[in-house]
Amino acid sequence: MQNRQPNSSRRSFFSGAATVGAAAAAVVALPQVIPSDATVSEPARVAPEKGGGYHLSAHVKQYYKTTQL
């Protein structure tokens, strides 16, 4: 009987194909990045001198909506 060694070019082809497939799946699974110009942010507020600093922001309003029954 002859002992045949697997063809290394075939092995490298399938290895490369698996790598490309994994990279394509990762690109599809990642969320899309939105340019920073398109995002709307609230103006920065200065912290009060005596502590505190609570203000009703859109994030806090959304939280309050989720806690209502």
For residues 22 and 30, the answer to whether their CB atoms sit within 8 Å is no
The residue that leads in pLDDT, 45 or 23, is 23
CB of 58 within 8 A of CB of 42? Answer: yes
14 three-state secondary structure: helix
CA distances from 54 to 46, 48, 51, 64, 66 (A): 11, 10, 9, 14, 19
The predicted structure's pLDDT at residue 12 = 86
For the chain, give the mean pLDDT: 77
pTM for the full model? Answer: 0.36
Average pLDDT (56-68) is 89
What band does 19 get if pLDDT is binned at 50, 70 and 90?
very high
What share of the chain has pLDDT > 90, as a percent?
A: 14
